[in-house]
Amino acid sequence: MSKQGKTTLEVAIEALTTGLQNGEYFTRTTPKDFDAEGFFTGFQDQRKARSIWSSVVIPRLMSSNHGELRKIGLSLQKKWASKSYRKQLDKARAHVKAVLESVHKHQAKVLDHSYKDLCHTLEIQEASMSHTQGSSSHSENHEEEDSSKDQDVDTDITTKAQLKRPRDDHNQESDFGQTQGIRQSLAGQEPVDKDLDTVHSDTFSDEDKRAFTNTFLALKKKTGLPSGKTVEDILFTEGIVRKQHDLIHSFVIDVDDESTRALFKSNDWSFIVAEQDESVELSDCDVIATLERLQDVNSISSLMDILNQRHLRLGKDFRMERDYDLKWLYDAVSKWIDMYMIPFPVFNSDAPLEFFWRSQVWGVLDSLFFDLPDIFMIGGEGQGLESTNRRNTQQLSKSRKVGGSKSDGYLRSFGASKADIMTIEGGRNWDPFAKKYKSEAGWKIGRQLHDIFRARTVDQDAAWCKQLKTYGIIFGVTYG
């Protein structure tokens, strides 16, 4: 142990990584003849040394701005992935076997059939990669795969999806580099730039199923239910056979969806919704009293009487941090009355008024947060920060930045670091049976809130996470 509290291995790793990033190592070697294993000579704990190398050094090499360093990182990934292939294969086989035994027999057959279809492409890619490494190496790998298939065809095919799985950006950093290396070694190409909410079609394709399967196999912790099953196993078993995109494919439970409710036993469902508190408590007595007065009126003139008798707090003693909510309530209702009284049939017109509703009627939401420091409502079609960060974290080898999912508005924090807090989707019509409404209200906005929630809770404990809420707003107009 060094004076700084670091082990000899950690000091050596840090020194070597710094040297690589400064370009000092290139005075005596090139990416082609780089021998990382020589670095570990003399270390007693070889296993720990390799783990630190693959989880710390390789990711830093791949994220470097130096082109030669990135080449070294890629070459090391492919070199070391082959050595851990069989170990990872055995581990994946055991994991998948446990999953298959926990589901219904009929659904297990469907699941197994889906695995075979999804992994057919992986077999072709792996054979292509082996061919580029030389005919002798190709023959040896082919014989090894045939032998493995003879022993356990169904399970071996299944586990290749495990080895190719893309890592979520919130998986532990310790095994991120190694898993990415295995995935790229088997595929022989860059990771698939695929995200469920980029699909223009509602169809849940074979490629979507593969991504869904990879995410499921990468889960390390699951939520247990009173029946002994886990939430994730139930959602995966149902999601893999669904033909259309659904929040289930993000492992999100829509408590208002009857088909999702039917997947769980009554005691399990009670356990799930027991801690769902959707109430919003108001602490300002004057705001509560004003809302109650507004609810009791039945005419425009009565509303105007209330609005013309503003509370004394909104006079010369007005303070933004204390009285803004009450002021906003008066201003919002007043503006809505103006919209109601304009000489144009906005409530029964078939004109394209989506922007009108977003900017004028629901535009009062933009001013609702004016009293919050470093918080602002970003309107217009824009990309979510959390979904953008997630996609680009998963695409380390991509030179071009991947865009995040788009929404009609975001409530965004501009403090020490930018972060989204709420998202808004707007539509021309409020029609629960319309394709746009189903896509945005039933799936898209749920995915966006899922990204926001994960970004806020990645380093927090379970008790803290249960207190966190994320909000999404869907608006439209009913014509009649």
Name the residue range of residue 21's domain.
8-82
Same domain membership, residue 468 and residue 368: yes
CA angle, 100 then 105 then 109, to 5°: 70
Kindly list the distances between the CA atom of residue 422 and the CA atoms of 241, 328, 460, in Å, as whole numbers in the listed order.
31, 19, 19
Same domain membership, residue 320 and residue 332: yes
Could you tell me if residue 380 is inside a domain? yes
CA–CA gap between residue 367 and residue 306 (Å, rounded): 21
3-state helix, strand, coil in the chain (%, to 5): 60, 10, 35
The pLDDT, as a whole number, for residue 263 is 92
The pLDDT, as a whole number, for residue 478 is 45
Q: What is the pLDDT along the chain (480 residues), one digit of tens a residue?
A: 444 566 555 555 566 556 555 555 444 444 444 455 555 554 455 565 566 666 666 777 677 666 666 777 776 666 665 555 556 555 655 665 665 565 545 555 555 555 565 566 556 656 665 655 555 444 445 445 554 444 444 444 444 444 344 433 334 333 334 334 333 333 333 333 344 344 345 788 888 888 888 888 888 888 889 999 999 899 999 989 888 888 888 888 888 788 888 999 999 998 888 866 666 677 889 999 999 999 888 888 999 999 998 888 888 889 998 999 999 999 999 988 988 888 888 777 777 777 777 777 777 878 888 888 888 877 766 677 766 666 666 555 555 555 566 677 777 888 777 777 777 776 656 566 666 666 666 667 677 777 776 666 665 565 655 566 666 555 554 444
Could you tell me if residue 234 is inside a domain? yes
Could you tell me if residue 179 is inside a domain? no
Lookup: tokens for 259: 């088909």
Same domain membership, residue 352 and residue 410: yes
The pLDDT, as a whole number, for residue 150 is 47
Same domain membership, residue 168 and residue 271: yes
CA–CA gap between residue 332 and residue 363 (Å, rounded): 9
Same domain membership, residue 218 and residue 155: yes
Per the CB < 8 A criterion, the answer to whether 329 and 293 are in contact is no
Among residues 246, 276, 306, the one where a domain terminates is 276
Per the CB < 8 A criterion, the answer to whether 235 and 248 are in contact is yes
Per the CB < 8 A criterion, the answer to whether 13 and 52 are in contact is yes
Could you tell me if residue 65 is inside a domain? yes
Same domain membership, residue 431 and residue 392: yes
CA–CA gap between residue 436 and residue 426 (Å, rounded): 10
Sequence-ordered list of residues with C-beta below 8 angstroms from that of 51, at least 6 positions apart, any chain: 174
CA–CA gap between residue 6 and residue 12 (Å, rounded): 10
Same domain membership, residue 368 and residue 268: no
Same domain membership, residue 354 and residue 339: no
Same domain membership, residue 300 and residue 372: no
Could you tell me if residue 89 is inside a domain? no
Among residues 255, 276, 297, the one where a domain terminates is 276
Lookup: tokens for 217: 């196999």
Same domain membership, residue 146 and residue 224: yes
Residue carrying structure tokens 């989506």: 354
Lookup: tokens for 236: 């995966």
Lookup: tokens for 303: 């509303």
Could you tell me if residue 56 is inside a domain? yes
Could you tell me if residue 183 is inside a domain? no
CA–CA gap between residue 91 and residue 271 (Å, rounded): 32
The pLDDT, as a whole number, for residue 330 is 93
Same domain membership, residue 258 and residue 198: yes
Same domain membership, residue 192 and residue 308: no
Could you tell me if residue 70 is inside a domain? yes
Among residues 249, 276, 303, the one where a domain terminates is 276
410 backbone dihedrals φ, ψ, rounded to 5°: -135, 140
- Look up the pTM and report it: 0.45
CA angle, 220 then 221 then 222, to 5°: 125
Q: How many domains does the chain have?
A: 4
The pLDDT, as a whole number, for residue 170 is 39
